[in-house]
Amino acid sequence: MYDPTVFENLKVAFENRVYDLDTIDREIKLTNRSDQMDFAILSRIFAIQFTLFHLEDVSAEIILEASLRDLADEILEAPEGNPGCSLTVRFLKRVQHETEQCSLIEDSLRDIWENEVLVVQTLSFLYGEGERGYLNTIDVKFRTKINEENMSEIPDFLQSILDALRVLHAI
């Protein structure tokens, strides 16, 4: 009998709760969804992107990843293995005053997730449109892998993302 992987179980759990926030609670608006299998390196990536329902200037994307090592450790039940998934939340926000705003963004996200995350901000702009400011791609990378034991934390985790969207909107 087929036994779903940690990746599959977490993907379904995230997907269900995010769809509930969209269709039932009407707190968010889904903008993109991606479910990929990379056959070159045998990895899986699931991503689901959304904005707050009435604040569409900042978006959030939950990115769940499982490498070949993660999948092999689980399927082969490797005793020394550490099966699980990597988790990143990517926010997209326009900034005009990068030095001030980027510092506030990092401090705000660290307040929400404390020392559990690495925050990486990448600024970009289209040539000729620099006066519109920068697009800030903010990756919040969680330091530890997650697995099925973390499923009960998904609603609180999603609430933290919604809080982060509101905070980022205000910056």
Between residues 13 and 71, the one the model is more confident about: 13
Domain boundaries, the chain: 6-137+160-170
Q: Strand 117-124 to strand 55-66: parallel, antiparallel, or no bridges (unpaired)?
A: unpaired
Q: What is the pLDDT of residue 137?
A: 97
Per DSSP, helices labelled H in 24-132 are: 68-75, 98-113
What does the pLDDT look like over 67-125, one tens digit per residue?
Answer: 999 988 888 888 888 889 999 999 999 999 999 999 999 999 999 998 789 999 999 98
What does the pLDDT look like over 129-149, one tens digit per residue?
Answer: 777 889 999 999 999 999 999
pTM of the model: 0.93
Please state whether 85 falls in left (phi above 0), alpha (psi between -120 and 50) or beta.
beta
What does the pLDDT look like over 45-56, one tens digit per residue?
Answer: 999 999 999 998
Q: What is the pLDDT of residue 2?
A: 63
Asked whether 18 and 49 are in contact (CB, 8 A), the reply is no
